[in-house]
Structure 1
Amino acid sequence: MERELARTPSPTPTELAEINAPLYDLTRWKRKEAWLKWRLVPWYIVIIVLVTGATLLTVFNKEIIAFIQPAAVWLHTRPQKFGWIIPVALLVILSFPPLFGHGVIAIVCGIVWGLGVGFALVCIGTLLGEIANYYAFKSCCRGRAEKLEENRPYYACLARVVRTGGFKVALMVRLSAIPSHFATAVFATCGMKMWVFLLAAVLSLPKQFVIVYLGVILNDASRDDADAAKDKSNKTERIISDIVAAASVLVTIGSLWWINRELKRVKPSVMADRRRARLAALRRQVSDPEMVMFAATQVYATPETALASSASAVMVSQPVPLVLAEDRRLHVA
């Protein structure tokens, strides 16, 4: 029996199809029925809200900043000792998905506190928020992530890439345009170590520096009455924004390409581990007398004949057919 069960089971037809299938099956989205499902309505609402908010922040950023600037100045002048706690607290709260708005708070910090202090406040709020986000998802969603890893091959491959890639994966994702708080949730549930995540978060903070600097430029432009100075500031702002956007797009494309390549690389080993897990479960069933009785009752009509047949099967080591997966059977002595 040990010799029969030592071999890793062959892939089932479903697993063979999953191994040979592309990671992203886009063909099903060609059908109209795939889009018209009630379970997708919340996702549509979230996407519409995010796109609308990002568009408003991009088009009317100066108007929004001018509207909130009096309140921001009040934070800096009135409670002189504790006003800085408010933007830090807002950054921590906005670190939990699906909330967003880090960029607006970072720009406000640049307007009110300047480049040095503003960047320090953004760093503190960002790190505290990401750490809280990491531990929240690790403690509350770990069980759900383990079930997804058992049942979803794609998520199992992603978890394997995150664990084996380590620091490289964390840094590339955080430097890309992928929202950092969503990436933190994935890292936490996939089992990334805390020190790896924290080091990548610290090294990706220069992204926040650029956003704070944009706030400083906007503040300088609003204070200067000369049209030439305003035009120069606006031109500098546009150049910096374009450079940051282009760099983010390039890093994002490179990160997604590399992660997709790693997912394809680990896919065969993940499928092999799933088959080994199925073999271990089969061993536990065979070694359990109750499971032998259960298998016998599935074949024979009455409990008496099932009991006699199962006892004789154990005495003479007659093979008992157990369903392995779909149309495949493994005869275990």
Structure 2
Amino acid sequence: MATDQESSNSRIEQLFLIPKRLGKFALGRYQRLGTFGKVLLFLWFLVNVLLVTAIIVITPSSIFQFLYDESVKLSHARFGFLILASLILLVSCPPLIGHTTLVTICGFAYGWKIGFLIGAISSIVGSATVFLLLRFLFSSRLRRWSRKNEKFMALESVVRDKGLPLIILIRVSPFPPWVYSNSLFASIESVALWQFVIATTFVFPKILLHAFIGSRMAALSDGGQRHEMDTSTKILNGCLVGGGIVIAILASWLVYTLVQKHIRKLEGVPTCCG
């Protein structure tokens, strides 16, 4: 009994030491940064402080009401969905980012059903377009670069041997992110377009989840809808939004962990990928 108690106390002490260790690690990383890196970090911190200040001054309710009003205008526009579709196609091109945000906006503006359709179809078309553009316009450059990189050549060899199952595993993993995943597969000659498209369809559950989160956020953003909701409905919608975000984070972490665990078992996979 005493041993179990000591073991429990030791675990608690270890938990309390985590913040201290993280603080030391962060301070050490900061001290190793050059002048340019420290300036960038300061600017990043300043932008975030200004952003939080602006949110407090303007008030979150006013900001979300503005976003809701604009999304209603977008959804009622004749070709509003094409604007979102075009933006999703655009952010599928490296080095741009924002795919998840735009899919959430699809759900915010059009509801989770139509929002999912817009996000899913646009994601397929956008990623396939980028795949083809990189493959045919920059194939020689990508080939020259890959031949100089031993780790990349090892990854390409394993993907060629394992085929579609491994392509799907890497595609559903949150790392590399969406836009860089498009670039990665375009640069691997052994990956065919049909394999890439099929693997991309396995990202649909994630797109559906973000579209659903967007639709619940819209319901809470409009003052009129909020006033008509009773307290329990507001709490339910808030829990759905928060729960959806938590599920998305946990699912991404779980998928990434499982993918990395599986990839490490494959022979010839470079350490950067496993």
- TM-based fold match above 0.5: yes
Q: How does 1:186-225 map to 2 (within 5 A)?
A: 186-191=184-189, 192-222=191-221, 223-225=225-227
Q: Counterparts of 1:210 and 1:116 in 2: how far apart (Å)?
A: 11
Deviations 1:254-279 (A, max 9, x none): 222333443x5367xxxxxxxxxxxx
**Shift, 1:183, TM fit:** 1.0
Trace 1:153-168 onto structure 2 (pairs within 5 A): 153-168=150-165
Written as runs of structure 1 = structure 2, the 5 A alignment for 1:63-212 is: 65-77=64-76, 79-80=77-78, 82-178=79-175, 179-191=177-189, 192-212=191-211
Map 1:5-20 → 2, pairs under 5 A: none
- Look up the equivalent residue of 1:72 and give its one-letter code: S
Q: Counterpart of 1:256 in structure 2: which amino acid?
A: Q
Q: 1:266 to 1:125 in 2, by over 3 A?
A: closer
- Deviations 1:224-271 (Å, cap 9, x if unpaired)? 323332122111222222122111101112222333443x5367xxxx
Q: Which structure's residues are more often helix, by fraction?
A: 2
Q: Which runs of 5+ in 2 are unaligned?
A: 1-27
1: CA distance, partners of 2:193 / 2:113: 28
State the AA in 2 paired with 1:231. Answer: I
Shift of 1:124: 1.7
User: Does structure 2 retain, via aligned residues, the 8 Å contact 1:159–1:190?
Assistant: yes
Supply the distance in 1 between the matched residues of 2:258 and 2:87 (Cα, whole angstroms): 31
TM-score scaled by length of structure 1: 0.59
Task: Give the equivalent residue in structure 1 for 2:6.
Answer: none
1:37 deviates by 11
Matched residue count: 224
Is the 2:134–2:183 Cα contact (8 Å) retained in structure 1? yes
Question: Aligned Cα RMSD in Å?
Answer: 3.3
Change (3 A) 1:206 1:159: same
Q: Which runs of 5+ in 1 are unaligned?
A: 1-29, 268-333
Larger radius of gyration: 1
Q: How far apart, CA to CA, are the structure 2 residues paired with 1:36 and 1:90?
A: 36
Task: Tell me which residue corresponds to 1:278.
Answer: none
- Aligned residue type for 1:187: F
Deviation at 1:65, TM superposition (A): 4.8
Asked if structure 1 preserves the Cα contact closer than 8 Å seen for 2:158 and 2:268, the reply is no
Question: Any conservation in 2 of the 1:96–1:181 contact (CA below 8 Å)?
Answer: yes
Does structure 1 residue 244 correspond to structure 2 residue 243? no
Over the matched positions of the two proteins, sequence identity in percent amounts to 22
Specify whether residues 62 and 154 from structure 1 end up closer, same or farther in structure 2 by C-alpha distance, changes over 3 A only: farther
Instruction: Give runs of aligned pairs for residues 307-322 of structure 1, distance below 5 A.
Output: none
